[in-house]
Structure 1
Amino acid sequence: MIDNFENEFFGIGIQNGKTPENLGVLWRSAQNMGASFIFTIGNRYAKQASDTHNAVKAMPYFHYDTFEDFFKHLPKGAMLVGVEKTEDAEPLETFKHPKRCVYLLGAEDHGLSKKAIDKSHFLVQFSSELSINVAVAGSIIMYDRGIDKPRFIRAE
């Protein structure tokens, strides 16, 4: 019998993305950095010139109208990692990425919703004086995940 809870995967997406061009850049990075799927909550994806690899056709893309709908459909065994600058967020430099997780980024001008922050299993942030582009933030998170460092292992 195969225990698929041993398999690692991650998905990455944006809640209420503001700039459609950022989605294309994030999707391109997600495809290059090993994401299993991509998603949006609120605003939908539209074909972007910045997604030169057409990642949305090359990997599963999901859209959820609301955060509640998204949260209800998290993959079994996956943990939600909110990317947000808060007092409670763990520094990315020492963060142990879960083996199976979904990274959620917020719009550059509003960040994650309070509900998303409250429901996240982890909140993570990295050092930057000011807010940065959401596609860049997502790329930094995925790059860090790819570094060979210990993973968080959930007790089932």
Structure 2
Amino acid sequence: MQPQRGFFGVGVESISKPQNAGNLMRSAHAFGASFFFAVNPSVDFDGLRQSDTSDAALHLPFYQWNTAAELTLPQGCVLVGVELTDDAVDLPQFRHPLRAAYVLGRERGSLTPALVARCDHVVKIPTKFCVNVGVAGAIVLYDRMISLGSWAERPVRVGGPVRTA
């Protein structure tokens, strides 16, 4: 994994399925998140061993709040909501902040208006319909890694020359 600049955390609001929570926490750990958080979850985060085989809970600080109003982030950390709305910025056009916390909504629902109001940015994955919360989180984190990591530009074609300005 290439070194990334800055730090980031990943969180969920009102998640209710342990498999999805564990999947997202595992993805956060795999992509190098600095912390994980939950707002008003219906999941016991202590019991995610079956869906998180990386034991992310042993490696990532975990924070939990009951409401969006209680949510606190490190100084200078920007809250980025991931939500499929008309006014959200398409992920490929979004410049990831160096210090960010990404928050995803619950299954079969959206981020609450109270949490959206707390977000500095709202981004969407340009798909025809919503994808699973764990998949959405992995896509956003991969996009962050590619855009903030120190990766060489992709070749014009497989095995071909690298495009130069």
TM-score (norm 1): 0.86
Q: How far, CA to CA, are the matches of 2:115 and 2:23 in structure 1?
A: 23
Between 141-150 and 120-129, the greater mean CA deviation after superposition: 141-150
Where does residue 92 of structure 2 map in the other structure? 93
Correspondence for 1:61: 62
Which structure 2 segments of 5+ residues have no match?
Answer: 150-165
Identify the residue that residue 137 of structure 2 maps to in structure 1: 138
Map of 2:157 onto structure 1: none
Match of 1:10 in 2: 8
Mean Cα displacement is larger for which, 39-48 or 26-35? 39-48
Output the amino acid matched with 1:41: V
**CA-based RMSD:** 1.4
Q: Provide, for residues 83-110 of structure 1, a one-character-per-residue CA deviation record: whole Å limited to 9, x for no partner.
A: 0011210000110000001101001212
Determine the C-alpha separation between the residues in 1 that align with 2:74 and 2:148: 23
Question: Does the 8 Å contact 1:84/1:105 carry over to 2?
Answer: yes
Q: Report the counterpart of residue 50 of structure 1 in structure 2.
A: 51
TM-score of the superposed pair, with normalisation by structure 2: 0.82
Corresponding residue number in structure 2 for 1:102: 101
Number of residue equivalences: 142
Pairing 1:66-85 to 2, within 5 Å after superposition? 66-70=67-71, 73-85=72-84
- Report the Cα offset of residue 20 of structure 1: 1.2
SS of the residue 2:9 aligns to: strand
Cα-to-partner distance string for 1:20-73 (whole Å, 9 max, x where unaligned): 111111111111101000011111424220100110111101111111111xx1
1:92-143 C-alpha deviation (Å, 9 max, x unpaired): 0110000001101001212100111122100000111121110110000000
CA distance in 2 between counterparts of 1:149 and 1:38 reads 20
Q: Percent identical across equivalent pairs?
A: 38
Q: Does 2:25 correspond to 1:27?
A: yes
**Partner residue of 1:154?**
none
Shift of 1:9: 0.5
Question: C-alpha displacement at 1:149, in angstroms?
Answer: 5.2
Q: Where does residue 121 of structure 2 map in the other structure?
A: 122
Letter in 2 for 1:18: S
